[in-house]
Amino acid sequence: MKLFLRQVRSLVKLSFLELWRRNDVFALLLLGLALMVPLSMATPFGAAGASRYLDEMALLLVWGFSLFIALGAGQRLFPPEFESRTIYPLLAKPISRGRLLVGKYIGAVAAAWSALAFFYVLFVASVLLRGGAFAAELPQAIVLHFAFVALAVAVSLLGSLLVTASANLSLSAIVLVGMFFFGRRLPEYAEGLNPALAWVVKAVYAVAPHAEFFDMRQRLVHGWGAVDGIVFSVVLLYAAAYAAALLGLAALVLRRRRL
């Protein structure tokens, strides 16, 4: 257990250094800062109530940036190790492929969470600067967003072992963004289609990661209140189970991968 913890600590540190020393992530954070500051100062139409739309825009930015970082973090876990041949000295050390996968996943999630935490600090600061107040459901919204990021990293990690980087990032983004905006409407779409297509749409609904489950932006912006504790727990369990299933598949792919 001590060995495992030391290995995970090393992999987490590696992921943090990798993420925070990358110029593109740094640029993204600066962009976030550059967009959030004006948003925090705006008073649209002189109407206090309209500020909720600024909150919505700010939250959408946070979601977009976090998705970009999560997909990138998952994508960069293994392909660069194969390309630079560092996978060989790494696996020649006392670490199994499964343990390496889990350790790298934890590291990538922790690093992506650190960037997300930074964005939420910016968001909260922008709300406070506009004279707004925290909604009671903010902690719940943040926890669900963190769970989504963990899920997105797992999606990208599995994809990185199966297809090229550009294909993985494109497909993962299409699936997650598509589900985020249209996932809840898929059953309605299915009703108006012929049976074969309806079956396909229903299959997508059953299998695809339900990014929309984690989206509490509307509740947060309009003050609709927190979701029921049981629903909240089930969504967290869904994220954990889905991510575990993806990691299981990734472990199978990695085990069969010839070095």
Partner 1 sequence: MKSGSAVDIDSVSRSFGSVKAVDGLSLVLAPGEIVGFLGTNGAGKTTTIKMTLGLLAPTSGTVKVLGGDPSDPRVRAHIGYMPEVATYYPYLDARELLSFYGGICGLDAKTVRRRTDELLDAVGLADAAKRPLKTYSKGMLQRAGIAQALLNDPDLLVLDEPFTGLDPLARIHFRELLLDLKRRGKTVFFSSHELGETELLCDRVAIMKKGHCVYQGPVRDLAGDGAANLERLFLKTLEEAK
Instruction: Return the residue of 26, 45, 88, 182 that touches partner 1, per CB under 8 A.
Output: 88
Render 194-230 in DSSP notation, one character per residue. Answer: -HHHHHHHHHHHHHS--GGGG--HHHHHHT--PPPHH
Instruction: Return the residue of 35, 42, 91, 204 that touches partner 1, per CB under 8 A.
Output: 91
Instruction: Return the residue of 37, 48, 96, 185 that touches partner 1, per CB under 8 A.
Output: 96
- Quick check: 218 binds partner 1 (CB under 8 A)? no
- Quick check: 3 binds partner 1 (CB under 8 A)? yes
Give the binding range for partner 1 (CB under 8 A) out of 82-90, 165-173, 179-187, 218-226. Answer: 82-90
Would you say 98 and 6 are in contact if contact means Cβ atoms under 8 Å apart? no
- Quick check: 92 binds partner 1 (CB under 8 A)? yes
Q: How far apart are CA 183 and CA 25, in angstroms?
A: 28
Would you say 62 and 123 are in contact if contact means Cβ atoms under 8 Å apart? yes
Instruction: Return the residue of 34, 46, 47, 84 that touches partner 1, per CB under 8 A.
Output: 84
Specify the residue for token string 């209140």.
225
Specify the residue for token string 């406070």.
128
- Quick check: 26 binds partner 1 (CB under 8 A)? no
Report, in Å, the least distance between residue 1 CB and partner 1: 11
